Amino acid sequence: MDMNSFRLDGKVALVTGAAYGIGFAIAEALAAAGAKIAFNCRSQKNLDEALKNYAAKGIDAHGYIADVTDEAQVKELVAKIEAEVGVIDILVNNAGIIKRIPMTEMSVEDFRQVVDIDLNAPFIVSKAVIPGMIAKGHGKIINICSMMSELGRETVSAYAAAKGGLKMLTKNICSEYGEHNIQCNGIGPGYIATPQTAPLRERQADGSRHPFDQFIVAKTPAARWGTPEDLMGPAVFLASDASNFVNGHILYVDGGILAYIGKQP
């Protein structure tokens, strides 16, 4: 086997919401494999900070301000990337939010906002890049799904609905554009230590670990939280020619959570 099939030299990758967290780590991994990196975020402050952090890693990233829920901004973003970096070969739909509110207390506005960012935006961004991929004759789309693409839990109704929908959008993009040599797959991270999950790991007033933190470590066969770095290898694989016959698949990177019934009493 030619191990160069894992390389991404010359490829243009757009990672959405990659100023920090999982998106930043995935962009770092794609860059290490040879890709040119474009990313977006929503504020100048985050953009400036992120560009410094990419430069500190030796990555010449192209950063833009764009809200992924706004189709006009996304079209402009893609046009700028095409002009300044090149036509996109790899799209990682990473930008996402969560709101932890019991369903009967959640406003419809909050529910809609989560679905808008976590599900509608991957549709908007994918729609904007697929024509360029068809013209190039290849493309890779990686949707960042979740444990909540498969499981429910208290307080995350909108997030679970959106991430479950994102799993099916993944399978549909595969079905609709596979014949154009476009592979669309998902990564379903387990519980990963990032700003999004920081509230679930906060130390208690008495210094003890958050009960949710203890619950997740007990529920994970690997017995730890994941790190953004745990997602690097899977992302490179799904972005590269090494996965050219993998399509419509969700790769769960969860330390074994979905395989495990839970600790016996």
**Which residue out of 159, 177, 191, 252 is catalytically annotated?**
159
Q: Which residues bind ligand NAP (CB under 6 A)?
A: 16-17, 19-23, 40-43, 46, 67-69, 94-97, 117, 144, 146, 189, 191-192, 194-197
User: For ligand NAP, which is the closer residue by CB, 194 or 247?
Assistant: 194
Q: Which is nearer to ligand GCO, 10 or 211 (CB)?
A: 211
Q: From the list ligand NAP, ligand GCO, none, which binds 17 (C-beta under 5 to 8 Å, kind-based)?
A: ligand NAP
User: What residues are paired with 37 via a beta bridge?
Assistant: 13
User: What's the start-to-end Cα distance of the chain, in Å?
Assistant: 47
Give the closest residue to 8 by CA, choosing from 257, 179, 243.
243
Assess whether 260 carries a catalytic annotation.
no
User: Residue 97: which of ligand NAP, ligand GCO, none does it interact with, CB under 5 to 8 A by kind?
Assistant: ligand NAP
Instruction: Collect contacts of 100-108 with beta carbons under 8 A, ≥24 apart.
Output: 100/155, 100/156, 100/199, 101/155, 102/154, 102/155, 103/155, 103/157, 106/157, 106/158
Q: Which residue has 């990473």 as its token pair? A: 94
Q: Provide the minimum distance between the beta carbon of 202 and ligand GCO in the complex, in angstroms, as a whole number.
A: 13
Name which of 134 and 250 has its Cβ closer to ligand NAP: 250
* Residues known to be catalytic: 159
